[in-house]
């Protein structure tokens, strides 16, 4: 059977019945916009170095296929958007919001390529929502479909802000510039993809299967490589320490020109983040007078400088990372980046 039928050459087509309908019909506008949205999500998948994000986008695209079928066949309950798909978006929005730490305000798109693509998809999603509102005035449209598209635009906004935070976007808002205005590494996203590919080549089974209760030496080396690349592009000379779930060192890597003291400080940060099950920056706040952990500062083995982060997979601490060599703020930011990078590399 040939791909082309010539049946629509006159500007008419069919939906759920053999009756010819003008292609100017509102339903075709909705279907075309949703198809355009799915294509943009495909572009996002192609540009994304994050497998978790790509997996979520595939799930969304499959849901959109059913949603579009529901517009063509509004009386078919099989094409209603399942409630769990709306719940999935809401859960992802909540998790993404808590991870990105985005600033409030109107975000200007373009912090990095993937976030810019997600923002384009978001605007198309908003247009799809408007076309559905017009279509619903004349034809039946499942209520869950409209709710899903509304929630999807929120998800795409949250995902765009998350990828900016993860891959070095400037995070400029209408209220001013965030601390991320400093130049961020342009190759951070590329490194993440390269690292994932390297893991796939070197492991005969999935990372999830290979991962036990502790971070492995290979994983520590890949994580350290990413952190060093990130630091090098910022002009920093640091020490990166990775510890296992008992706080014992798995690897310590020293960049040329790093301070001698940074070796011990980085290792101590990695140990502390595991010992207290929180970032060292958070610990520094909690040991202040009147806070919940006041008095813990007397423990010699612990350190209270930012740059230490627990490494968590599936809700379980499998190790810790410590970085030292920059200012307190730089080490804190680099530690947070290290924790995010670990999740992107190994939480699959």
Tell me the CATH number at 18: 1.20.1200.10
* Residue 127 belongs to some domain of the structure: yes
pLDDT-wise least confident of 206-210, 219-223, 232-236, 333-337: 206-210
For 324, phi and psi rounded to 5 degrees? Answer: -150, 145
Average of per-residue pLDDT across 317-332 = 93
Both 167 and 99 in one domain: the answer is yes
* Residue 87 belongs to some domain of the structure: yes
Domain that holds residue 251: 188-346
Both 56 and 17 in one domain: the answer is yes
Q: Dmax of the chain from CA atoms?
A: 82
Q: How many domains does the chain have?
A: 2
CATH of the domain at 204: 3.30.450.150
Average of per-residue pLDDT across 161-184 = 48
Residue 165, pLDDT score: 73
Both 147 and 17 in one domain: the answer is yes
Both 195 and 166 in one domain: the answer is no
Among residues 314, 225, 215, 226, the alpha carbon closest in space to that of 273 is found at 215
Residue where one domain finishes, among candidates 181, 202, 233: 181
Q: Which residue has the higher pLDDT, 177 or 35?
A: 35
Residue pLDDT, tens place only, 249-275? 999 999 999 999 999 999 999 999 999
Both 234 and 342 in one domain: the answer is yes
Residue where one domain finishes, among candidates 141, 156, 181: 181
Both 258 and 324 in one domain: the answer is yes
pLDDT-wise least confident of 93-102, 259-268, 291-300: 93-102
Both 311 and 338 in one domain: the answer is yes
* Residue 242 belongs to some domain of the structure: yes
* Residue 1 belongs to some domain of the structure: no
List, in order, residues 6 or more apart from 348 with CB less than 8 Å away.
Answer: 51, 52, 206, 207, 208
Residue 280, pLDDT score: 94
* Residue 227 belongs to some domain of the structure: yes
Both 196 and 105 in one domain: the answer is no
Give the distance from CA 209 to its chain's centroid: 22
Torsion of CA 42, 44, 46, 47, to 10 degrees: 170
Task: For residue 309, give the 3-state DSSP assignment.
Answer: strand
Among residues 60, 109, 107, 61, the alpha carbon closest in space to that of 86 is found at 60
| pLDDT over 90 percentage in the chain | 47
Does the structure show a pLDDT above 80 at 62?
A: yes
Q: How many residues does the chain have?
A: 348
Residue where one domain finishes, among candidates 151, 181, 211: 181
Torsion of CA 232, 236, 239, 241, to 10 degrees: -70
Both 217 and 341 in one domain: the answer is yes
Numbers of helices and strands, H then E, in the chain: 11, 6
Q: Which residue has the higher pLDDT, 79 or 209?
A: 79
* Angle made by CA atoms 78, 83, 85, in degrees to the nearest 5: 95
Q: Which residue has the higher pLDDT, 3 or 164?
A: 164
Give the distance from CA 347 to its chain's centroid: 12
Residue 170, pLDDT score: 42
Residue pLDDT, tens place only, 217-235? 999 999 999 899 888 888 8
pLDDT-wise least confident of 81-95, 99-113, 215-229, 311-325: 99-113
Rounded Cα distance between 212 and 93, Å, is 29
pLDDT band at 177; cut points 50, 70, 90 = very low
* Residue 75 belongs to some domain of the structure: yes
Both 149 and 46 in one domain: the answer is yes
Both 197 and 241 in one domain: the answer is yes
* Residue 236 belongs to some domain of the structure: yes
Residue 276, pLDDT score: 93
Does the structure show a pLDDT above 50 at 183?
A: no
Q: Rounded mean pLDDT of the chain?
A: 81
Does the structure show a pLDDT above 60 at 208?
A: no
Both 107 and 21 in one domain: the answer is yes
* Residue 74 belongs to some domain of the structure: yes
């Amino acid at each position: 059977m040939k791909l082309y039928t010539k049946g629509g050459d006159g500007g008419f087509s069919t939906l759920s019945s053999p009756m010819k309908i003008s292609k100017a019909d509102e339903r075709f506008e909705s279907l075309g916009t949703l198809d355009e949205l799915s294509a943009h999500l495909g572009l996002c998948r192609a540009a994304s170095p994050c497998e978790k994000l790509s997996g979520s986008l595939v799930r969304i695209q499959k849901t959109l296929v059913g949603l579009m079928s529901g517009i063509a066949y509004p009386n078919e309950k099989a094409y209603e958007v399942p409630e769990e798909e709306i719940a999935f978006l809401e859960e992802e929005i909540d998790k993404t919001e808590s991870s990105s730490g985005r600033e409030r305000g109107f975000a200007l798109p373009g912090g990095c390529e993937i976030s810019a693509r997600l923002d384009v998809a978001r605007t198309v999603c908003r247009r799809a929502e408007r076309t559905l509102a017009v279509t619903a005035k004349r034809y039946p449209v499942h209520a869950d479909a409209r709710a899903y598209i509304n929630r999807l635009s929120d998800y795409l906004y949250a995902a765009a802000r998350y990828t900016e935070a993860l891959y070095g976007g400037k995070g400029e808002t209408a209220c001013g510039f965030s601390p991320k205005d400093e130049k961020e590494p342009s190759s951070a996203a590329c490194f993440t993809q390269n690292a994932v590919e390297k893991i796939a080549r070197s492991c005969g089974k999935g990372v999830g299967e290979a991962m036990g209760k502790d971070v492995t030496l290979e994983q520590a080396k890949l994580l350290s490589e990413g952190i060093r690349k990130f630091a090098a592009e910022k002009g920093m000379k640091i020490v990166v320490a990775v510890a296992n779930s008992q706080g014992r060192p798995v690897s310590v890597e020293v960049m040329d020109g790093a301070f001698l003291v940074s070796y011990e400080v980085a290792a101590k940060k990695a140990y502390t983040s595991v010992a207290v099950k929180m970032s060292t920056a958070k610990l520094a706040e909690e040991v202040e007078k009147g806070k919940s952990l006041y008095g813990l500062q007397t423990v010699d083995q612990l350190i209270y400088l930012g740059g230490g982060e627990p490494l968590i997979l599936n809700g379980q601490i499998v190790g810790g990372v410590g970085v030292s060599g920059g200012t307190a703020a730089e080490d804190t930011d680099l530690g947070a980046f290290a924790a995010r990078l670990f999740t992107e590399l190994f939480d699959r």
